[in-house]
Amino acid sequence: MGGFELITAQSLIVSEKHGAVGVLRMNRPEALNALSHPLMDRMEEALKNFEADSAICAVVIAGSERAFAAGADISEMQGKTSAEMRADSHLSRWDKVSNFPKPTIAAISGYALGGGCELALACDLRVASETAVFGQPEISIGVIPGAGGTVRLSRLLGRALALEMVLTGRRISADEALSLGLVNRVVPVELFLDEAIKLAHQIAAMPPLAVAAAKKSTLHAMDSSLEDSLNFERNLFYDLFDTEDQKEGMRAFIQKRRPNFVGK
Amino acid sequence: MTEGIQIKPLLVEIDGAVMTLTLNRPDVLNALTLEMMKGLLESLKKAEKDKNIGCVILTAAGRAFCAGADLGDLKKRQEEAPFSLGDELRRHFNPLILQIRRMEKPVIGAVNGLAAGAGASLILSTDIKIASRESKFINAFSRVGLVPDSGMTYFMPRFLGMSLALEYAWTAKPITAEEAFRFGWVNRLVDLGQVMDEAQKLAQELIAAPPLSVALTKRAMNRSFENNLETQMEYEAQLQEVLGKTHDHAEGVAAFLEKRRPRFEGK
């Protein structure tokens, strides 16, 4: 994996910088990385730091080999009323991940269940180990996914498969997830984090303004009409012609050399 | 291994790095009861997790290896609480076969005699098969109006080719030890008294090999049934990326160059 710079290790989130790639590792092994309030607090902070850090161009969110995250912390919410749950902003943490402006890659091994599955779905790309297991088992404990499960699964998989997952709680293996388009690739368990970081480096090597525009346009298209999306895309395309990286990229292409992007 | 009048239907012995599982109901040709299947699954999971175990031998006491499911036990359980044969497979047989295929340690089948029905499936699921010249495989599902199960319809066409697989399944004709050897269904034939010696010898050889290499080789071979050449070669490249960084790879190369025996550590 090469050298990297450790930023925090004291806690529920281990944060590292691998060159232009930020890596967040959930670190609550005794609870299979159940996504408690404190853990998601730390994740939000770590994401904020990576957002502010202009040297970071892509972020990997990972768990351990055994569990990406086995769910939200059920013991935290078991006794709560509807009003208490509403007053709590815990679930908005998942939106912070999906709204993160730089590309995010989930590196998933072992359990990605409930809130863990939703966290993986909130990322832009997903790299899974062969042992990854996806599922939304909330229905079996009297609730439904609350952090985007029904919404993102229906968009990614279509209505029938999404409904099967959220109505029965059926778990999906890595190979099935790949065939359904739920993950980008599946690799041996020993490689899942390396592979996610490698993929992040590929993106980090691209001109950052174009990367941001590509992500913005793709996400916009998920929620808008065809006409609106095409206009949105075209405007971003035109905008990029005022950037140095567009000039450099096209010049290098014509001169048959590698471009040197500056992020401007 | 008798304790009073109670005889254990499954013997579990651990000698060094080798776990030997012996089906032990020779009076009923080692027919599988729920207790035996649970014991097998539990022991295989233990072998998978235990760092000190490197290889498993699966064998049986007496003249037969295993006559398949114990129909008396099955009937008794069905009377207590009805369940379908499909559910019986899903709950007990399928997890056992999957465990043997998926665990990343060698499982050697030491076949002393007759293996019928699920007993034959159990043997087919093992990685390497040593059989006695008296052993015989019977696929009698068609005689009782069923399909071959516990992986049999997966393994048979792969070992025998489609034509022979269908012929043996439809006619329930026994496959003799000689035929099984010729088909590549078993690795080698030995005299009855030597089955365990031969299996032990092989187990010793396998536990001396670099464990991660042994494990990932099984993983890669398992995958080959589902992949095309290009995908499989990419998969090999990924595994080689993992193993290329291990101590055992460096040690193997160093030992070769220095013309000495390697000392593998499983790292």
According to DSSP H, which parts of chain B are helical? 34-49, 71-80, 85-88, 94-102, 118-125, 152-160, 162-171, 177-183, 195-208, 211-224, 229-243, 247-257
Interface test with B, best of A190, A193, A197, A199 (most B CBs within 10 A): A190
Query: Which 103-162 residues of chain A touch chain B by CB within 8 A?
Result: none
**Could you tell me if A1 lies within 8 Å of chain B, comparing CB atoms?**
no
Cα–Cα distance, A67 to A59 (Å, whole number): 19
Domain count along chain A: 2
**Could you tell me if B98 lies within 8 Å of chain A, comparing CB atoms?**
no
Interface test with A, best of B49, B231, B235 (most A CBs within 10 A): B235
Q: B264 phi and psi, to 5 degrees?
A: -85, 145
**A103 and A91 belong to one structural domain:** yes
Q: What is the pLDDT of residue A137?
A: 97
B111, B116, B122, B127: CA torsion to nearest 10: 50
Q: What is the pLDDT of residue B3?
A: 45
CB contact under 8 A, B242 and A188: yes
Q: Is A34 a catalytic residue?
A: no
Range(s) of the domain holding residue B100: 2-208
Q: Is residue B9 part of a domain?
A: yes
Which conformational region is residue A79 in: left (phi greater than 0), alpha (psi within -120 to 50 degrees), or beta? Answer: alpha
Contacts of A191 in chain B (CB under 8 A): 238, 241-242
Quote the DSSP letter at residue A191: G
**B178 and B253 belong to one structural domain:** no
**Could you tell me if A263 lies within 8 Å of chain B, comparing CB atoms?**
no
Least CA distance to B220: which residue of chain A? Answer: A188
Q: Is residue A148 part of a domain?
A: yes
Interface test with B, best of A187, A189, A195, A199 (most B CBs within 10 A): A187
Q: What is the pLDDT of residues B90-113, one digit of tens each?
A: 999 999 999 999 999 999 999 999
With pLDDT > 70 as the criterion, what percentage of chain A qualifies?
Answer: 97
CA angle A241, A210, A4 (to 5 degrees): 140
Mean pLDDT in residue range A83-98? 93
Cα–Cα distance, B155 to A109 (Å, whole number): 29
Which one of A46, A72, A120, A128 is the catalytic residue? A72
Which one of A115, A135, A148, A149 is the catalytic residue? A115
**B104 and B154 belong to one structural domain:** yes
* SS3 category, B114: strand
* SS3 category, B229: helix
| Predicted TM-score (pTM) of this structure | 0.86
**B193 and B232 belong to one structural domain:** no
Q: What is the pLDDT of residue B6?
A: 65
**Could you tell me if B78 lies within 8 Å of chain A, comparing CB atoms?**
no
Q: Is A115 a catalytic residue?
A: yes
Q: What is the pLDDT of residue A242?
A: 96
**Could you tell me if A191 lies within 8 Å of chain B, comparing CB atoms?**
yes
Average pLDDT value for chain A:
94
Q: Is residue A264 part of a domain?
A: no
Q: Is residue A262 part of a domain?
A: no
Q: What is the pLDDT of residue B104?
A: 96
**B194 and B63 belong to one structural domain:** yes
**Could you tell me if A190 lies within 8 Å of chain B, comparing CB atoms?**
yes
**B58 and B182 belong to one structural domain:** yes
Determine contact, residues B93/B157, Cβ cutoff 8 Å: no
User: Residue A259: is it exposed, middle or buried by C-beta count within 10 angstroms (0-12/13-18/19+)?
Assistant: middle
Q: Is A118 a catalytic residue?
A: yes
Range(s) of the domain holding residue A218: 208-254
| Of the listed ranges A5-9, A114-118, A188-192, the one predicted with least confidence | A5-9
**Could you tell me if B245 lies within 8 Å of chain A, comparing CB atoms?**
no
**A135 and A25 belong to one structural domain:** yes
Mean pLDDT in residue range A104-117? 98
**B196 and B236 belong to one structural domain:** no
Q: Encoding tokens for residue A195?
A: 């592979």
Which one of A46, A138, A148, A162 is the catalytic residue? A138
